Structure 1
Amino acid sequence: MDIFASIRRNSLGLGIFAVVTAGIIATTHQLTKQTIADNIVQAQLAAFNEILPTDRYNNELYKAVVTLEADALLGSDEPHHAYLAKMDGKVTAVIFETTAPGGYNGNLELLVAIDKDGIVTGSRIISHKETPGLGDKVDVKKSPWVHSFVGTFLGENSEKQWQVKKDGGKFDQFTGATITPRAVVRAVKNTLTYFDQNKDSLLQR
């Protein structure tokens, strides 16, 4: 009987402990939920403002999001998001989430900002698995290489220009690592092509 009584006491104690722990976790989650959400928004806005000047828009950019249907030009068979920068209600630029397949160690995820005239105002690599010291130079924290896209656009000689120098284009590659910059150049060019093909519908939103 003492054994059964001990088991009941221990079970009750464990049950109370579980309820209290769950309550603490739930309370902590509720208290920090808004802070986490605010931090995510601030990080997103910081990334946006690095590639698109703040004087180009006056809307809440992170809220002006649209979902784009899967398109090969955006690099995958999954839908992508785009953010519409507006000045007094008129679209002045679009920030695309896009994918660069074919990196040395897999896909790279990018943000590409394109103004209403089809000119890149900036781009950033937001996710990659490239080799440290080689392919990771596409990351702005490692090198300024990604700034080379600022001011670029599709032109008459786009096929030739939109390649790394090793392939006859105008973009630098990295010593010992051509595959990764080649993939990023292709992705930015494809995003520009997507914008060009869908410009009317994007700017009228």
Structure 2
Amino acid sequence: MTKPQSPLRLSLQTAAVMMLFTLVFTAVMAGTYKATQNTIAASAEAEKLQLINQILPPQSYDNKLLQDALTLGPTPELGLDQGGHIWRARKDGQPVAVVLEAVAPDGYSGKIRLVIAILADGKVSGVRITEHRETPGLGDYIDPKKDRNKQQPWIAQFSGKSASSPGAEHWKVKKDGGDFAYMTGATISPRAVVAAVARAVRYEQAQREALYARTSP
């Protein structure tokens, strides 16, 4: 008759089996992560570049834009409490544009995150919303994917604007005496975006030379 195992021995065997299982599982997960890491990173970079190319024509620059980047610390001028990034576009080594991350902290439903391309002459090339929680069917027209006007989306009116055109007093929605259109009943979202873009334009104007010259820490 087989002698029954002691509770201590049984516990040790169980612990050993669990430890072996954990080690094998960890090794498999580590191997999977390592095998897919480059693919995931490449996919994320491609998605980021696709977004940037919506606001800055890819034929306008010839450098590796995502590699010509600055990492910012907290930057209140851009609403970046936790910091962010700036990418520099160049052609034949000459400055073409910067693409800035920015945040509008005062959206109707919270923060609105955006990217803004500003040409070397200070004019806005384009703006895109990257994250928001604005009310569907009301304030979310700030996002061209949600805007029903596909021929002339609301966000397109920033193209060609600069710090001096319109002047500082006109970087507001029309309801507040400015130059920027809005939809009746949904003023808060566009007001927040216009203010954020205006701050980014002023920041770029003040820091232009340094932004193109700086190296990322």
Same fold, TM-score > 0.5, yes or no = yes
1:8 corresponds to: 12
Contact persistence 2:171–2:180 (CA under 8 A): yes
Contact persistence 1:99–1:110 (CA under 8 A): yes
Query: 1:157-184 CA distances to partner (integer Å, 9 max, x unpaired)?
Result: 5233211111122212233221111010
Asked whether 1:84 is paired with 2:93, we answer no
Structure 2 segments unaligned to the other structure (5+ residues): 148-152
Please tell me the root mean square deviation across aligned C-alpha atoms, in Å. 1.8
State the SS of the aligned residue for 2:29. Answer: helix
1:105 corresponds to: 109
Distance 1:162 1:16, change over 3 A: same
Distance 1:46 1:102, change over 3 A: same
In 2: Cα distance, 1:49 partner to 1:134 partner: 27
TM (norm. structure 2) is: 0.87
In 1: Cα distance, 2:33 partner to 2:73 partner: 34
Q: 2:77 aligns with which of 51, 69, 73?
A: 73
Residues 19-34 of structure 1 mapped to structure 2, 5 A cutoff: 19-34=23-38
2:150 corresponds to: none
Structure 1 segments unaligned to the other structure (5+ residues): none
In 1: Cα distance, 2:205 partner to 2:131 partner: 25
In 1: Cα distance, 2:36 partner to 2:70 partner: 28
Query: 1:10-34 CA distances to partner (integer Å, 9 max, x unpaired)?
Result: 2222222111111111111111111
1:166 corresponds to: 175
In 2: Cα distance, 1:156 partner to 1:12 partner: 72
Q: Which runs of 4+ in 1 moved over 6 A?
A: none
2:209 corresponds to: 200
Q: 2:54 aligns with which of 50, 53, 78?
A: 50
Identity of aligned residues (%): 39
Query: 1:141-198 CA distances to partner (integer Å, 9 max, x unpaired)?
Result: 1012111111111226523321111112221223322111101001111111111111
Contact persistence 1:52–1:121 (CA under 8 A): yes
State the SS of the aligned residue for 1:114. Answer: strand
In 2: Cα distance, 1:90 partner to 1:100 partner: 30
State the number of aligned residues. 205
Q: 1:121 aligns with which of 125, 136, 143?
A: 125
In 2: Cα distance, 1:105 partner to 1:41 partner: 29
Distance 1:177 1:53, change over 3 A: same
In 2: Cα distance, 1:8 partner to 1:76 partner: 53
In 2: Cα distance, 1:54 partner to 1:66 partner: 19
State the SS of the aligned residue for 1:130. Answer: coil
Contact persistence 1:91–1:204 (CA under 8 A): no
Amino acid in structure 2 at the alignment position of 1:57: Y
Larger radius of gyration: 2
State the SS of the aligned residue for 1:58. Answer: coil
TM (norm. structure 1) is: 0.92
In 1: Cα distance, 2:202 partner to 2:157 partner: 18
In 2: Cα distance, 1:17 partner to 1:68 partner: 43
State the SS of the aligned residue for 1:39. Answer: helix
Q: 2:39 aligns with which of 32, 35, 39?
A: 35
Residues 177-192 of structure 1 mapped to structure 2, 5 A cutoff: 177-192=186-201
Asked whether 1:176 is paired with 2:177, we answer no
